[in-house]
């Protein structure tokens, strides 16, 4: 239900209740007035009829009662008249057919009457002498009829008023609602390139202020979109350039290495050994460079969720041992102590892309080496974490990461390093890789003391055989 319909329904409900209360009040007042009127008219009638009855009884001519009381008996509202003499003997009885006059009881007032006849009893006392009793039945049906008519009229007027009000309110709400409908439309289209038209109203009104807030929001979004596009284009350009630039020297290096190898095979023994060693070393570097190119390509793979990863079941212990073997040498060569501890329990499996996960650990180790002074220790390990997860961690005794940077370090191209060799992709890659493995990465650090970055991954559930 839209705002206009809701406001309209609420107003109409209030108006309907108020109209019903007013009609009921009017009818009640009308009924009370009718009862009063009937009460006093009945008293007047009873007085007049009593006079006539006393006259007949005093003169001892009870046979004249019928004649004297006939004007009353003929009245429409008089249902019956009965006269008793002082000994209680009925001396006159007249009334409408079907009325059991003798069985009637006296009513206290018109208000309590239920059968439509108000029964009045009068003692006939004249000059302190009791002449008997007069009983009179007055019809109250006209009250019910009149109340019914008043109720019907009240309802008719009330309903006409409500219908008029409804038409008026609907028209008024249509005027205000049109602006609101335009705002709702604009809100729906706030993300589109061109904002749907906004209502032209007084800029100080609520609708006017909302309207200008919408325009500002729309142009803000447009600017933000343009800024993001520019960033994305820059990133793509950078990425393409980096891969391109890396590939060229790689190809050259590969060719040179092959040439060196050929000369080593054809030259004297001493040269063979030296050249063989040179070729081996440059071969390792080429391998590492190739890995880096692959990393860059991996980042773009992780960026698009549609590209599947090469996931398999991996024995955690052997995976960690492999990482330790591969990365300890570099850390030790750089003068850091290497500590390896696997507390993940025997035979845990994880499910993932082994190359990517290894690269993830490698990045954490590379950071630990870079942001740790010589002689400090670097720990690689794993432990059981919350239900069904293991945590692989790399801990160092380095400079630490200030609290305010602990989120930013995971953003792409955010580096806080002074070295111009850093591009700020390492941890962004780690986070993306962890997330593509339904894992999480968390950092705990103390400035000046060290950092631990841990990746929690779901355990695959089956035992590692022979590991
Ligand atoms: N172990 C650590 N100790 C202290 N600071 C760290 C550590 N690891 C990362 N950082 C901080 O986090 C930032 C982001 O790290 P990240 O690996 O993403 O990028 P980078 O090291 O600057 O560049 P690169 O992409 O070449 O690795 C770093 O610049 C550094 O300030
Ligand atoms: Mg790094």
The first and second tokens of residue 455, run together, are 């990746």
Closest ligand (CA of 369): 1
Say what the pLDDT of residue 293 is: 72
Instruction: With a cut of 90, say whether residue 216 has pLDDT above it.
Output: no
Q: What is the spatial distance between Cα 10 and Cα 430, in angstroms, rounded to a whole number? A: 57
How far is Cα 63 from Cα 67, in angstroms, rounded to an integer?
A: 8
Beta-strand pair 90-95/78-85: antiparallel
Q: In testing the pocket of ligand 1, which one of 239, 295, 366, 417 has its CB within 8 Å of the most ligand atoms?
A: 417
Ligand found nearest the CA of 453: 1
Two structure tokens written together for 201: 């109203």
Number of the ligand closest to the Cα of 296: 1
The answer to whether the CB of 368 is under 6 A from ligand 1 is yes
- Ligand 1 centroid from CA 337, angstroms: 20
**Angle of CA points 114, 116, 121, to nearest 5°:** 90
CATH fold for the domain made of 312-458: Heat Shock Protein 90 (3.30.565)
Q: Is residue 213 very low, low, confident or very high in pLDDT (cuts 50, 70, 90)?
A: confident
User: Distance from the CA of 425 to the center of ligand 2, in angstroms?
Assistant: 7
pLDDT score recorded for residue 347: 82
Name the token pair of 322: 């492999």
Alpha-helical runs (H) found in 189-312? 206-266, 269-303
How does DSSP assign 200-219, residue by residue?
A: ---TTSHHHHHHHHHHHHHH
User: Does residue 426's CB lie within 6 angstroms of at least one atom of ligand 1?
Assistant: yes
- Check residue 465 and give its pLDDT: 45
Residue 31 CA to residue 110 CA, distance in Å, equals: 11
| Dist CA 286 CA 18 (whole Å) | 90
Q: Are 393 and 382 in contact (CB under 8 A)?
A: yes
**DSSP secondary structure letter of residue 141:** H
Q: Which among 48, 55, 47 is positioned nearest to 131, based on CA atoms?
A: 55
Max Cα separation, the chain? 175
**DSSP secondary structure letter of residue 118:** E
Q: Ligand 2 center to residue 366 CA distance, Å?
A: 6
- Dig out the tokens for 411 from the structure: 């953003």
158-183 confidence digits (pLDDT tens) = 999 999 999 988 888 777 777 777 88
Q: Does the C-beta of 378 come closer than 6 Å to ligand 1? A: no
Q: Is 416 in the pocket of ligand 1 (CB under 6 A)?
A: yes
pLDDT of 249: 65
pLDDT of 435-466, one tens digit each? 999 999 999 999 999 999 999 999 986 554 43
**Spatial separation of the C-alpha atoms in residues 133 and 389, rounded to whole Å:** 106
Answer for the pair 243, 290: CB distance below 8 angstroms, yes or no.
no
Asked if the model's pLDDT at residue 79 lies above 60, the reply is yes
Characterize the bridge pairing of strands 389-396 and 349-352: unpaired
CA angle 238, 239, 242 (to 5 degrees): 85
Question: What is the 394 CA–ligand 1 centroid distance (Å)?
Answer: 13
| pTM of the predicted protein model | 0.49
pLDDT above 70: residue 248? no
- Has residue 246 got a pLDDT over 80? no
Q: Where are the domains of the chain?
A: 3-157, 206-303, 312-458
Q: Which of 23-27, 229-233, 333-337, 388-392 has the lowest mean pLDDT?
A: 229-233
CA gap 214, 342 in Å, rounded: 56
> How many Cα atoms are found within 13 Å in the side-chain-facing hemisphere of 199?
23
Six-digit token string for 154: 């009240």
Summarize pLDDT for 275-319 with one digit per residue, the tens.
777 777 777 677 667 766 766 777 777 877 777 888 999 999 999
**Which of 117 and 268 is assigned the larger pLDDT?**
117
Tokens read off for 343: 């507390």
Cα separation, 176 vs 385, whole angstroms: 59
Q: List CB contacts of 226: < 8 A, sequence separation 6 or more.
A: none
Rounded to 10 degrees, the C-alpha dihedral 322/324/330/336 comes to: 180
Q: Is the CB of 451 under 6 A from ligand 1?
A: yes
Ligand 1, atom 1: nearest CA belongs to which residue? 368
**Homologous superfamily assigned to 3-157:** PAS domain (3.30.450.20)
- C-alpha distances (whole Å) from 319 to each of 245, 295, 299, 338, 439 are 32, 19, 22, 17, 17
Look at the block and give the residue holding tokens 């350009």: 237
Q: Ligand 1, atom 7: nearest CA belongs to which residue?
A: 367
pLDDT at 467: 35
CA–centroid distance, residue 391 to ligand 2 (Å): 20
Which numbered ligand comes closest to the C-alpha of 422? Answer: 1
CA of 422 to the centre of ligand 2 (A): 7
């Amino acid at each position: 239900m839209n705002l206009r319909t809701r406001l309209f329904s609420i107003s109409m409900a209030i108006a309907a209740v108020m109209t019903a209360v007013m009609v009921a009040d009017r009818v009640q007042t009308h009924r009370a007035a009718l009862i009063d009127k009937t009460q006093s008219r009945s008293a007047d009638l009873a007085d007049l009829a009593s006079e006539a009855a006393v006259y007949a009884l005093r003169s001892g001519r009870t046979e004249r009662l019928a004649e004297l009381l006939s004007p009353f008996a003929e009245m429409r509202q008089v249902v019956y008249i009965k006269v008793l003499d002082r000994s209680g003997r009925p001396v006159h009885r007249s009334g409408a057919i079907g009325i059991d006059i003798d069985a009637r009881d006296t009513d206290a007032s018109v208000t309590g009457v239920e059968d439509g006849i108000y029964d009045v009893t009068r003692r006939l006392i004249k000059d302190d002498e009791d002449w008997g009793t007069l009983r009179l039945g007055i019809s109250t049906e006209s009250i019910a009829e009149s109340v019914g008519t008043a109720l019907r009229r009240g309802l008719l007027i009330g309903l006409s008023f409500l219908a008029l009000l409804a038409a008026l309110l609907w028209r008024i709400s249509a005027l205000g609602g049109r602006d609101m409908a335009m705002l709702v439309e604009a809100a729906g289209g706030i993300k589109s390139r061109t904002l749907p038209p906004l209502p032209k109203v007084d800029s100080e009104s609520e609708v006017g202020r909302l309207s200008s807030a919408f325009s500002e929001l729309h142009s803000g979004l447009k600017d933000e979109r343009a800024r993001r596009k520019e960033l994305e284009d820059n990133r793509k350009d950078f990425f393409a350039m980096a891969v391109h630039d890396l590939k060229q020297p790689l190809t050259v290096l590969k060719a040179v290495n092959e040439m060196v190898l050929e000369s080593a095979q054809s030259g004297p023994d001493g040269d063979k050994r030296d050249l063989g060693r040179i070729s081996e070393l440059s071969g390792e570097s080429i391998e590492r460079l190739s890995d880096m190119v692959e990393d860059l390509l991996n980042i773009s793979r992780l960026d698009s969720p549609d590209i599947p990863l090469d996931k398999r079941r991996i024995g955690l212990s052997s995976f960690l041992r492999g990482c330790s073997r591969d990365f300890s040498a570099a850390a030790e060569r750089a003068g850091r102590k290497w500590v390896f501890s696997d507390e993940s329990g025997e035979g845990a499996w994880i499910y993932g892309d082994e190359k990517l996960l290894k690269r993830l650990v490698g990045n954490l180790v590379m950071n630990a080496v870079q942001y740790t002074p010589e002689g400090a220790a670097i720990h690689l390990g794993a432990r059981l974490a919350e239900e069904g997860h293991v945590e692989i961690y790399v801990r160092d005794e380095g400079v630490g990461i200030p609290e305010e940077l602990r989120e930013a370090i995971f953003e792409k191209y955010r580096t806080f390093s002074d070295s111009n060799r850093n591009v700020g992709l390492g941890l962004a890659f780690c986070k993306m890789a962890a997330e593509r493995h339904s894992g999480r990465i968390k950092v705990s650090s103390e400035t000046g003391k060290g950092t631990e970055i841990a990746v929690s991954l779901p355990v695959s559930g089956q035992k590692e055989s022979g590991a």
